[in-house]
Amino acid sequence: MDGDVDSDDDGDGNDNQPLLSLPNSLRHELKDPMGPVETDPGILLEAVDGPLIAVGDVVTYHLLEAGRAPDVALIDGYTKRETVDAEVERVVNDERPEGDHTTLEVANPPAVLTRPLLEALVEGLERPESVTIVVDGEEDLAVLPALLAAPEGASIVYGQPDVGMVHVTVDAETRASARGLLERFDGDVDRALALLEG
């Protein structure tokens, strides 16, 4: 990763301070799915052409069970604010196809995006092996930075509670939508975008 990304520009020495915070005025807009919703992971995977980023334990579990390890998976051990069951935990943490795999650990409290999470996302996408980012806190908002950091044509898959899996393809339209939402967050938007689009 670029050396400048690692510098602590805020001077307080605490990288886990929120870089961006979700304002209450945006919460309702993020409830609508950003792409088509699918309940069958096999059918969803037929539409995947390129890198695959999974946001959430249950989504990651279903993709692994369908035989496709995400290139980058973000998990936090919870679903709908409840601890995931033992089977999901076992599969997302232990069951990987043969080949290289890396685990990164970051802190990211609910309703915020920290610099370590954004950096881990960028690093995960740059690595040739599959990467699991284990989040201490909450990974839900990672969908938006993933849409900016992932290459054109990549697939972002995340869970829509009690509905299914949302499949968003990275293109100019979905990038613009994600960027427009992030620009309305509280915090250092310019710094966050520089990390993701740099």
- Half-sphere exposure for 150 (CA within 13 Å, toward CB): 31
The residues that bridge with 82 in the sheet, in sequence order, are 79
DSSP run (H or E) holding 121? helix 115-126
pTM, to two decimals: 0.88
CB 127 within 8 A of CB 30: no
Q: What is the pLDDT of residue 101?
A: 86
Which DSSP state fits 25?
Answer: G
Residue 156, Cβ density class (10 Å: 0-12 exposed, 13-18 middle, ≥19 buried): buried
> How far is 73 from 90, CA to CA, in rounded Å?
14
Q: Which residues contact 125 (CB under 8 A, 6 or more apart)?
A: 51, 53, 71, 72, 149, 150, 151
Of 93, 133, 132, 131, residue with least CA distance to 114: 133
Residue 175, Cβ density class (10 Å: 0-12 exposed, 13-18 middle, ≥19 buried): middle
Q: Which residues contact 81 (CB under 8 A, 6 or more apart)?
A: none
CB 186 within 8 A of CB 23: yes
Q: Which residues are annotated as a binding site?
A: 57-59, 76, 139, 162
pLDDT along the chain (198 residues), means of 10: 38 68 92 94 96 96 94 88 82 70 93 97 95 94 97 96 94 97 96 91
Q: Which residues are annotated as a binding site for GTP?
A: 57-59, 76, 139, 162
Q: What is the pLDDT of residue 83?
A: 79
Residue 68 CA, distance from chain mean position = 17
Torsion, Cα 27 29 35 37, to 10 degrees, reads: 60
Neighbours of 51 (CB within 10 A): 17
Q: What is the pLDDT of residue 97?
A: 56
